[in-house]
Structure 1
Amino acid sequence: MYTTSSLFLHTLAQVGITHAFVNWGSDHPALLEDLERQRVDHGDTAVEIITCPNEMAALSAAQAFVQVTNTPAAVIVHVDVGTQALAGAIHNASRGKVPILVFAGASPSTVEGELKGSRNEWIHWMQDVPDQPAIVRQYMRFTAQINAPENVPHLVRRALQIATSEPKGPVYLWARREVLEKEIDESLFNTRTSLFRWPSIEPGALSPSAVNVIGDALAHANNPLIITSYIGRNPAAVAALEMLSRLMAIPIFVTCPSATNVSLSHPFFVGVSFLAPGTHTPLLSTADVILVIDAEVPWIPMNKDNQGNFERPSDDARIFVIDSGDPLKESIGMEHVAGVAELVCRASADVTLYQLLNSGRTGSATGFYTRSKTIQAVHDAFIADMRNAETLTSEPNVPYAPSRVFGALRTAVENKVPHPASTLYLNETISNYPLSWSHLHPDTPAGMLSSGGSSLGWALGAGIGAVLGGVNVGKGAGKVGYELVVSVVGDGTFMFGVPSSAFWMARRYETPFLTIVLNNGGWKSPKLSMMGVHPEGHGSKVTGNQLTVGFGPDMPDYAGIAVAATGGWAWGKRIAAGDPLEETMAEAVRIVVEERRCAIVECVLESI
Structure 2
Amino acid sequence: MSSSSPTAAEAWLNRLADHGVDYVFGNAGTDFAPLIESLAEAHSDGVSDRAPSVVPVSHETVAVGMAHGYYLATERPQVVMVHVNVGLANALMGIINASRENIPMLVASGRTPISEQGRFGSRDLPIHWGQEMFDQGEMVRQFTRWDYELRYPDQAPAIVDRALALAQSPPGGPTYVSLPREVLAARLEAPVEVGPVRPAPTRPAPDPSAVDRVAALMEGCQRPVLVTSRADHAAQAALSDFVERHRTPVVQFWPGRLSLATTSRWNGGFDHRGAMARADLIIVLDTMVPWIPQVWEPSPDVPVVAVGPDPMFTDMAFRGFPAQESVYSDVSLFLTALGARLDSWAGRWDPESVPSGPPSADPLGAAVAEVVDSSVTLVNELGCDPAALRFG
TM-score tier, shorter chain, comes to over 0.9
Does residue 439 of the first structure (1) align with residue 388 of the second (2)?
yes
Does residue 5 of the first structure (1) align with residue 9 of the second (2)?
yes
Which residue in 2 is equivalent to 1:479?
none
Which residue in 1 is equivalent to 2:344?
363
Give the secondary structure class of the aligned counterpart of 2:169: coil
Which residue in 1 is equivalent to 2:123?
119
Which residue in 2 is equivalent to 1:545?
none
Normalized per residue, the structure richer in helix is: 1
Q: 1:317–1:412: structure 2 CA closer, same or farther, 3 Å change rule? A: closer
Q: Which amino acid aligns with 1:74?
A: V
Per-residue displacement from partner, 1:39-63 (whole Å, max 9, x unpaired)?
A: 2111746311100121111111111
Contact 2:283–2:306 (8 Å) recurs in 1: yes
Q: How far apart, in 2, do the equivalents of 1:249 and 1:14 lie?
A: 45
Q: Which amino acid aligns with 1:357?
A: G
Q: How far apart, in 2, do the equivalents of 1:240 and 1:59 lie?
A: 29
Give the secondary structure class of the aligned counterpart of 2:81: strand
Deviation at residue 285 of structure 1 after TM alignment: 4.4
Deviation at residue 244 of structure 1 after TM alignment: 2.4
Measured on the aligned residues, the alpha-carbon RMSD in Å equals: 2.0
Q: 2:259 aligns with which of 258, 261, 278?
A: 261
Q: 1:282–1:73: structure 2 CA closer, same or farther, 3 Å change rule? A: closer
Q: Which amino acid aligns with 1:47?
A: P
Contact 2:282–2:305 (8 Å) recurs in 1: yes
Q: 2:87 aligns with which of 79, 82, 85?
A: 82
Q: 2:176 aligns with which of 168, 172, 176?
A: 172
Which residue in 2 is equivalent to 1:578?
none
Which residue in 1 is equivalent to 2:297?
312
Contact 2:228–2:251 (8 Å) recurs in 1: yes
Deviation at residue 192 of structure 1 after TM alignment: 4.8
Q: 1:30–1:372: structure 2 CA closer, same or farther, 3 Å change rule? A: same
Q: 1:327 aligns with which of 290, 311, 316?
A: 311
Q: How far apart, in 1, do the equivalents of 2:122 and 2:377 lie?
A: 47
Q: 1:252 aligns with which of 250, 253, 261?
A: 250
Q: Which amino acid aligns with 1:224?
A: P
Equivalent positions of 1:208-607 (< 5 A) are 208-230=208-230, 232=231, 234-273=232-271, 280-281=272-273, 283-303=275-295, 311-324=296-309, 326-337=310-321, 339=322, 341-359=323-341, 361-365=342-346, 368=347, 371-373=348-350, 376-379=352-355, 385=359, 402-403=362-363, 405-414=364-373, 420=374, 422-428=375-381, 430=382, 432-433=383-384, 435=385, 437-443=386-392
Deviation at residue 269 of structure 1 after TM alignment: 1.3
Q: How far apart, in 1, do the equivalents of 2:245 and 2:34 lie?
A: 59
Per-residue displacement from partner, 1:89-141 (whole Å, max 9, x unpaired)?
A: 111111111111111111222212x1111111111111111111111111110
Q: How far apart, in 1, do the equivalents of 2:196 and 2:21 lie?
A: 11
Q: How far apart, in 2, do the equivalents of 1:356 and 1:210 lie?
A: 10
Q: Which amino acid aligns with 2:306?
A: V
Q: Which amino acid aligns with 1:284?
A: M
TM-score, normalised by the number of residues in structure 2: 0.93
Q: How far apart, in 2, do the equivalents of 1:333 and 1:282 lie?
A: 30
Which residue in 1 is equivalent to 2:109?
104
Q: Which amino acid aligns with 1:215?
A: A
Q: How far apart, in 2, do the equivalents of 1:362 and 1:312 lie?
A: 30
Per-residue displacement from partner, 1:441-464 (whole Å, max 9, x unpaired)?
A: 421xxxxxxxxxxxxxxxxxxxxx
Q: Which amino acid aligns with 1:255?
A: F
Q: Which amino acid aligns with 1:200?
A: A
Q: 1:413–1:316: structure 2 CA closer, same or farther, 3 Å change rule? A: closer
Deviation at residue 406 of structure 1 after TM alignment: 2.9
Deviation at residue 440 of structure 1 after TM alignment: 2.5
Q: Compare CA radii of gyration and give the structure with the larger one.
A: 1
Q: How far apart, in 2, do the equivalents of 1:286 and 1:187 lie?
A: 65
Q: 1:290–1:409: structure 2 CA closer, same or farther, 3 Å change rule? A: closer
Per-residue displacement from partner, 1:152-179 (whole Å, max 9, x unpaired)?
A: 1111101111100112000111121111
Q: How far apart, in 2, do the equivalents of 1:192 and 1:329 lie?
A: 35
Q: How far apart, in 2, do the equivalents of 1:30 and 1:285 lie?
A: 59
Contact 2:274–2:357 (8 Å) recurs in 1: no
Deviation at residue 222 of structure 1 after TM alignment: 2.2
Give the secondary structure class of the aligned counterpart of 1:321: strand
Q: 1:270–1:282: structure 2 CA closer, same or farther, 3 Å change rule? A: closer
Per-residue displacement from partner, 1:369-398 (whole Å, max 9, x unpaired)?
A: xx332x52135x769x45xx6xxxxxxxxx
Contact 2:251–2:275 (8 Å) recurs in 1: no
Which residue in 2 is equivalent to 1:15?
19
Contact 1:79–1:105 (8 Å) recurs in 2: yes
Per-residue displacement from partner, 1:469-524 (whole Å, max 9, x unpaired)?
A: xxxxxxxxxxxxxxxxxxxxxxxxxxxxxxxxxxxxxxxxxxxxxxxxxxxxxxxx
Contact 2:157–2:194 (8 Å) recurs in 1: no
Which residue in 2 is equivalent to 1:536?
none
Q: 1:110–1:406: structure 2 CA closer, same or farther, 3 Å change rule? A: same
Q: List runs of 5+ in structure 1 lacking aligned partners.
A: 274-279, 304-310, 390-401, 415-419, 444-608
Q: How far apart, in 2, do the equivalents of 1:116 and 1:244 lie?
A: 60
Q: List runs of 5+ in structure 2 lacking aligned partners.
A: none
Does residue 69 of the first structure (1) align with residue 74 of the second (2)?
yes
Give the secondary structure class of the aligned counterpart of 1:121: coil
Contact 2:253–2:270 (8 Å) recurs in 1: yes
Q: 2:163 aligns with which of 151, 159, 165?
A: 159
Q: 1:412–1:315: structure 2 CA closer, same or farther, 3 Å change rule? A: closer
Give the secondary structure class of the aligned counterpart of 1:87: helix
Contact 2:81–2:108 (8 Å) recurs in 1: yes
Q: Which amino acid aligns with 1:377?
A: S
Give the secondary structure class of the aligned counterpart of 1:424: coil
Per-residue displacement from partner, 1:162-216 (whole Å, max 9, x unpaired)?
A: 100112000111121111111235844xx45542xx3332111221211111111
Q: How far apart, in 2, do the equivalents of 1:282 and 1:73 lie?
A: 38
Which residue in 1 is equivalent to 2:149?
145
